[in-house]
Amino acid sequence: MASKCVYCRREVPMERTMQICDCCGVKVWGEKMFKAILAGTDCEKEKGNMELGRVSESNDPGSIQELHKKINQSHLL
Ligand SMILES: [Zn+2]
Reduced to 3 states (helix: H, G, I; strand: E, B; else coil), residue 16 is coil
Q: Would you write out the chain's pLDDT as a tens digit for each of its 77 residues? A: 678 999 999 999 888 888 999 999 999 999 999 999 888 876 655 555 555 555 454 445 567 777 878 877 776 66
- CA of 63 relative to ligand 1 center, distance in Å: 16
Question: In angstroms, what CA-CA distances link 31 with 22, 23, 26, 40?
Answer: 9, 9, 5, 14
**β-sheet bridge partners, residue 4:** 11
- CA of 1 relative to ligand 1 center, distance in Å: 17
Write the pLDDT tens digit of every residue in 35-57.
998 888 766 555 555 555 554 54
